[in-house]
Amino acid sequence: MAKAQKLPSGSWRIRVGAGESGKTVSFTASTKKEVEIMAAEFLTGRRHPERRTVHQCAEDYIESRRNLRSPSTIAGYEKIVRCNMGDINDIRLCDLSQNALQKWVDKLCQNHAQKTAVNAFGFVRSVIIYETGKFDYIVSLPRIQKPIREMPSPEAVIRAVIGTDIEIPCLLAIWLGLRMSEIRAIRKSDIKDGVLTISEAVITVDGQNIRKTETKTYRARRLRVPGYILGLISDSPTDEITTLSGQAIYKRFSRLLEKNGIEHIRFHDLRHLNASIMAQLNVPEKYAMERGGWSTPQIMRDVYQHTFSAQTDAVSDSIDAFFNSIVK
C-alpha cells in the first residue's frame, strides 16, 4: 500500500490503486492513522478492525481464546470486560489515545486493588496486540506491593480444625501445600500405596463445578500422604475427599478461626503457611518447589514473606544477643 503524505493544510492523503484499470483512489483524513485505515478498508473490502470499539475487540479476543484457556481464565476475562472497562469500552480502537488509556488505569488504581488494575491493563494490552499486532502506548502502572503479613502458628490452626468436617481439606493445604482446586478434585483412587497423584482440579464457574484434567502446575505431581491423613481419608464415606464447594470450605474455615480467637487468614494462606514452614525447616528449594508445584524459585520465595511471630522473635533475640555482646 502506498505511503500516506501530509498535505500543506495539515491533513493526510493516501492514493491506492483501484484494480486493473490503473486508476487510483484518493483518501484524505485529519490523521495519518485514520487515512491508512480508510485505505485498508477499501483494499480489503471489509471494515477495519480498529474501527470497532474496545468492547467489541475484547469480545472477539475472548472468543478466540475460549478453547485455549481454562474456564476460570475466561471467566476472569469476562469479569474484566463487565466490571473494569467501563470508561474505554465504547471508544473505537482507532480513537483510543494514550491519555485515555492512562486515565482509565489511574481510575482503576484509585477504586480497585493494584493487582486488579494490573490484570485489567494486561488484558486490554493483549486485546490491542491481537487486533493490531502491536502496542504503541506508554502507560505507567502501579507497582504491586506485597505486604508482609504475620501468620498464626501452625499449631493453633491445626488445633482449630481437628475433628471438624473440614479437617481433611485444611490438613492437605497446610501439611502438603495443596491448592483448594486440587483438594476438591482428589478421589480415594488417586492414592496408591500411600502416594497421592495430583493431576486434576475442580473449579466453580458461574455456579457450575468444572473438573479440569490439568492443574495450575500443568503437570502431575506425587506426594506421600502422612499416616494420620490417610486414616482420615479411609474413614470418609465417599470416594471424593470432600463434597463441599470451595465457598463452603472457606466459610467454615473463617468461622473456626473466629471461634478460636485466631486472626483471620484466607484458606489459600494455609498453602503459604506450608511454604513458610518448609523455609523454616531449611527444605532445599528444589524439593519445596516440587512439593508445592511452584514453577519458579521466585514465585515460591514470594510466599515465604509470611512470618510467624514466635519465629520472628527468635530471630530478633539472636541478632540482639550478637550486638549486645559487642556493645557491653
Q: What pLDDT is stored for residue 312 in this prediction? A: 67
Are the C-beta atoms of residues 77 and 62 closer than 8 Å to each other? yes
Query: 238: buried, middle or exposed (CB in 10 Å: 19+, 13-18, 0-12)?
Result: exposed
Express each pLDDT in 11-58 by its tens digit: 888 888 766 656 777 878 888 877 887 777 677 665 555 567 899 899
Cβ pair 65, 77 in contact under 8 A: yes
Domain ranges of the chain: 5-46, 54-132, 150-312
Dihedral angle, C-alpha 308, 227, 241, 162, nearest 10 °: -50
Q: Does domain 150-312 have CATH number 3.40.50.720?
A: no
Torsion sign across C-alpha atoms 216, 217, 220, 225: negative
Given a cut of 90, whether residue 248 has pLDDT beyond it is yes
Percentage of the chain lying above the pLDDT 90 cut: 37
The residue among 145, 105, 194, 92 whose CA lies nearest residue 305 is 145
Is residue 150's pLDDT more than 60?
yes
The per-residue pLDDT for 323 is 72
Q: If pLDDT is split at 50, 70 and 90, which confidence band does 73 have?
A: confident
Task: Using the structure block, give the residue that is written with the C-alpha cell 473438573.
Answer: 211
C-alpha to C-alpha distance for 86 and 89, rounded to whole angstroms: 5
d(CA 269, CA 258): 16
**Separation between Cα atoms, residue 172 and residue 183, nearest integer Å:** 7
Q: Tens digit of pLDDT for each residue in 208-224? A: 888 877 665 556 788 89
223 φ/ψ angles, rounded to the nearest 5 degrees: -135, 140
CA–CA dist 126, 103 (Å, integer): 18
DSSP strands (E only) in 135-215: 150-151, 191-192, 195-198, 201-205, 208-212
User: What's the predicted TM-score (pTM) here?
Assistant: 0.66
- Please name the residues in contact with 242: beta carbons below 8 A apart, sequence gap of 6 or more: 166, 168, 169, 183, 184, 249
* The CATH number of domain 54-132, selected from 1.25.10.10, 3.90.550.10, 1.10.150.130, 1.20.1640.10: 1.10.150.130
Contact call for residues 252 and 164 (beta carbons, < 8 A): yes
Q: Do domains 54-132 and 150-312 have the same CATH topology?
A: no
* Residue 301 host element (H or E): helix 297-303
Q: What is the pLDDT of residue 280?
A: 81
